Amino acid sequence: MVKIFLLDDAGMEGMMEHSARKLTKEKRRHIRVDFATRVVINAGSVQIEVPGDSRDLSLKGVFINTEQKLPVDTRCSVRIFLSCGFDEVELKMKAKVARVDDHGLGISFDSMDLDTYTHLRNIMRYNADNFNEI
């Protein structure tokens, strides 16, 4: 199942989550897709590794399903691993914890290099219903 968040034509912040099971409003500004892959978060001496339980990936962040918690506004580095046949591509971002809930951590990307941005954009394009909106 792929979830896509679209900004309405009026430019309002209300977003619509499209899925096979439900339709709910969200306050999102960026298109997000479900993309399960290995993610590693480093914050000081704490490392959180999630083997494939990420969701809501966008060009600005990702939600990680984890029982481990970090305080909101904690600066961290994020590595997202993409399997490409026998090779593995590692995307690296500087980030911070934007929100914490019972299910995990919402991570907001602060910066990334051009190659990482290009890979993320391609992931979004390949998984979005309408890639022209990315």
Q: Which residue has the tokens 């709910």?
A: 24
Q: Up-side HSE of residue 12: CA atoms within 13 Å toward CB?
A: 7
| pTM summary value | 0.70
Residue 19 lies in a domain: no
The residues pairing with 17 across neighbouring beta strands, listed in sequence order, are: 5, 24
Residue 27 lies in a domain: no
* Mean pLDDT in residue range 18-23: 29
Tokens of 89: 């591509």
Cα gap 74→96, rounded to integer Å: 5
- DSSP letters spanning 62-83: EEEE-S----TT-EEEEEEEEE
- 96 sits in which H/E element: strand 87-101
Residue 87 lies in a domain: yes
39: nearest Cα among 114, 123, 132, 102: 123
Q: What is the CATH number of the domain that holds 89?
A: 2.40.10.220
Identity at 96, one-letter amino acid code: K
Domain count, the chain: 1
Split at pLDDT 50, 70, 90, the class of 126 is confident
* Interval 45-94: pLDDT, tens: 999 998 877 778 888 999 999 999 999 999 999 999 987 777 888 999 99
Residue 28 lies in a domain: no
